[in-house]
Amino acid sequence: MARERNSEDQDGGVFEAAIANFLAPIVDLLNDPTVTEIMINGPKEIFIERAGKLYKTDAQFEDEDALIAAANSIAQRVQRRLTEENPTLDARLPDGSRIHVVLPPCARNGTTIAIRKFSKVKMTFKDYVKIGAITEDGARFLDLCMYLGKNILVSGGTGSGKTTLLSVLCNRIPAGQRVIVIEDASELTVDYEHVVFFETKMADAQGKGEITIRDLLKSSLRLRPDRIIVGEVRSSEALELINAMNTGHKGCLGTIHANSPDDAVVRLEGLAMGGDSQISLKAIQYQIGSAIDMIVQISRFSDGSRRIKTISEVRGLNKDGTYNIAPIFDLGNLMRGPDGVLHGELKPTGEIPSFIEEIESNKIPFSRSKFQKAS
């Protein structure tokens, strides 16, 4: 076993050295902890994201051939091929960073690469409060939702911080449970005693051997999970997750690309209907209304900050068939200060959660007054 582990470490070291060589023009950006994303739009145009804002850099590749060579070398290292028939690559670098490549002629600017760096910083609710992403009461409310095993959907746009928030929530799971985490590529940092990580597998060059999130979700249900965490719900696995939530698996979590809580449930509905299921739309809507307890909407704002915009409860369906979604905490309108920073905080809307008696019977110190709307 030790010999195998040493071999893996050596392979990883060789991979890291090779990556540094292929991406030499941007190696300083890769090593800069303040840079969260690197965007290469052809060999001569490289942007970075730092503190939520985009900046153009002076870094350049020698020419298009050098950039294509780097992309091909990375593809070979992860046992994939970039060709005219298969001009895209989605892979993970040794440090956990995600890399996506699109080749010409699809990429008209030249070979286009985006590297989303893996954050080594472990965030907590205290950190979230400190940076103004949430208030203390908002954090405590989400904490008690995790304690009570509420099924939570984290909704937001690209780069809004969904995965980071999901990691924060996962680390508030009460002790003594079996947690299964399913992702396309391992990004979640979950510091927990009993956790099993699953990762999808892409098809080989012959189009065989693909293992999807849906496949892993089906398997996970046979492995006695207490909670199932899906890194991102973006296909027909939505139906499996909804079914899991409705069959006694409390405290399941997932993220979804959507701009509001209402959009999130409608998108989830569309994804669930997109599979090979013969279930009617009405039945899907009913299942979603009973499966999802809370939706946490997170957004990236024009000042570069990422904040929780709303914490909403899903209360089933209205008589007209629409979802009954009640915002419990809401960010409201933000005011821009002289320094360009947006100011405002998450406040109670006056809505009392339907499970307030559950909070009280568990003797959780979070009184009804915390939900009163400020006058």
What average pLDDT score do residues 254-259 get?
95
- Span of 14-28, 37-51, 93-107, 280-294 with lowest mean pLDDT: 14-28
Say yes or no: 253 and 360 in one domain: yes
Say yes or no: 241 and 294 in one domain: yes
Q: Which residues span the domain enclosing 52?
A: 2-116
pLDDT beyond 90 at 206? no
Say yes or no: 329 and 274 in one domain: yes
Q: How far apart are CA 33 and CA 117, in angstroms?
A: 9
Q: What is the CATH number of the domain that holds 191?
A: 3.40.50.300
Question: How does pLDDT run across 263-305, given as a tens digit for each residue?
Answer: 999 999 999 988 666 788 899 999 999 999 999 999 999 888 8
The dihedral over CA atoms of 187, 261, 371, 131, expressed in degrees to the nearest 10, equals 40
pLDDT beyond 90 at 140? yes
Query: Cβ contacts of residue 181 below 8 Å, gap of 6+?
Result: 170, 188, 190, 195, 196, 197, 198, 229, 231
Q: What is the CATH number of the domain that holds 75?
A: 3.30.450.90
94, 116, 138 — which closes off a domain? 116
Determine the pLDDT at residue 156: 95
Cis peptide before 105 (omega within 30 of 0): yes
Query: Cβ contacts of residue 112 below 8 Å, gap of 6+?
Result: 40, 41, 42, 101, 102
89, 116, 143 — which closes off a domain? 116
Q: How far apart are CA 350 and CA 348, in angstroms?
A: 6
56, 85, 116 — which closes off a domain? 116
Say yes or no: 133 and 19 in one domain: no
Say yes or no: 288 and 167 in one domain: yes
Question: How does pLDDT run across 66-109, given as a tens digit for each residue?
Answer: 999 989 888 887 777 788 888 998 877 777 788 899 999 999 99
Say yes or no: 266 and 187 in one domain: yes
Say yes or no: 68 and 47 in one domain: yes
Say yes or no: 96 and 216 in one domain: no
Reported confidence tier of residue 8, pLDDT bands at 50, 70, 90: very low
59, 268, 273, 316 from 234: Cα distances, Å? 34, 8, 12, 22
The number of domains in the chain is 2
Say yes or no: 14 and 112 in one domain: yes
Nearest residue to 249 (alpha-carbon basis) of 222, 272, 271, 268: 222
CA angle 141, 231, 195 (to 5 degrees): 80
What average pLDDT score do residues 201-208 get?
73
